[in-house]
Amino acid sequence: MLAGVLLLIFLPPLVAKDLCKDSQDGFKVRLSIKTGLGDDAYEWNESEMFLFRSTLAYAMRKHSNQDTYTIDNILVCNDTQRVSFVFVVTSTDDPDQLIPKEQVELAVRQNKHRINNAFLLSDMTLEFMGIPPTLSAPIIYDTEPWLIVFGVVIGAVAVGIVALLMSTVSKKRRAKEKAAGLSEEDEGIVKENGTALSSLGRKEGVYNQAFSNDDRFTKL
């Protein structure tokens, strides 16, 4: 009688351990807490393991839309100091039946983000061996940022070119006008005697090159 009772008490954990150890449907999990958190690393203990099992039960619940998964459905074994272990998920209807690998994988992949956050870790530091991480989608821009900068630079260059060309054109025009204006005044002095004085009235005088001090003409 006593033996029977003892067997009943100790059988489930033994069976559970066998289910976990020998099964093909288990996943190895590895946590690198110190690498991930450095000085803020927490100690891995039974409570943390409890949290892990409950997050996994949560994942199974979400995936299968059944609210029947509890922490007892998650069995853990091969616990090492590395902080790595193997877990399996038992079915809610039959504790001896294991949920197939693919189902568990899907559940984990769907909720990896929540599992990571529960432990303040990332895909690199909380690894499920055999389940590749779902990488974040690449950022898609409406307009590539480089095109925007390119547009700004080209715009500035175009403005610069136009400004410089305009200034050259206007300089040339002014030079032409000045040359034309000077030649007109010279003609005025030669043609009409009367207007020579009137032109003087407008300006301080007219530079008469015949009486210049330029050495050019006096050098021998």
Partner 1 sequence: MDRFMTRPDAADMKLNLKLPNPGLDERIPSHAELEKLEVEEAGERPQWDNKAQYMLTCVGFCVGLGNVWRFPYLCQSHGGGAFMIPFLILLVLEGIPLLHLEFAIGQRLRKGSVGVWRSINPYLVGVGIASMLVSFLVGMYYNTIIAWVLWYFFNSFQDPLPWSQCPVNENRTGFVSECERSSPVDYFWYRKTLNTTPVIEDSGGLQWWIVLCLFCAWTLLWVCCLRGIETTGKAVYVTSTLPYLVLTIFLIRGLTLKGSVSGIKFLFTPDLDELLNPSTWLDAGAQVFYSFSLAFGGLISFSSYNSVHNNCEQDAVIISVINGFTSIYAAIVIYSIIGFRATERFDDCLNGNILTLLNTFDLPEGNITESNYDGFLQHLNSTAPAVFQDLQLKTCDMQTFLSQGVEGTGLAFIVFTEAITKMPVSPLWSVLFFIMLFCLGLSTMFGSVEGVVVPLQDLNILPKRWPKEAYTGLVCFVSFGLAIIFAQGSGDYWLALFDGFAGSIPLLIIAFCEMMAVSYIYGIDRFNDDIKFMIGHKPNFFWQVTWRLVSPLIVLLIFLFYFITTVSKELTYIAWDPQSENFPTLETKSYPDWIYGIIFILSGVPALVIPAVALYKLIRNRCCAKEEKHTTAEHKIQIPDELDRTRRSLH
Binding site for partner 1 (CB under 8 A): 30, 32-35, 80-84, 132, 134-138, 145-150, 153-154, 157-158, 160-161, 164-165, 168
Residue whose CB is less far from partner 1, 163 or 200? 163
Cβ within 8 Å of residue 28, ≥6 positions away: 78, 84, 85, 86, 128, 129, 130
Of 97 and 171, which has the nearer Cβ to partner 1? 171
We find the least distance from the C-beta atom of residue 110 to partner 1, in angstroms, to be 14
The strand ranges marked E within 9-80 are 27-31, 74-77
Nearer to partner 1, 146 or 217 (CB): 146
Q: Cβ closer to partner 1: 138 or 181?
A: 138
C-alpha 4: how far from chain center: 63
Instruction: Tell the smallest beta-carbon distance from residue 151 to partner 1 (Å).
Output: 10
Nearer to partner 1, 65 or 136 (CB): 136
For residues 183-218, b (16+ Cβ closer than 10 Å) or e, as one string?
Answer: eeeeeeeeeeeeeeeeeeeeeeeeeeeeeeeeeeee
In the complex, what is the shortest distance from the CB of residue 140 to partner 1, in angstroms, rounded to a whole number? 11
Q: Which strand ranges, in their side-by-side order, compose the sheet holding 74-77?
A: 74-77, 84-89, 27-31, 126-128
Long-range contacts of 195-198 (CB under 8 A, 24+ apart): none
Element (H, E) at 126: strand 126-128
Task: State the minimum distance, in angstroms, from the CB of residue 36 to partner 1.
Answer: 10
Distance of closest approach, residue 49 Cβ to partner 1, in angstroms: 15
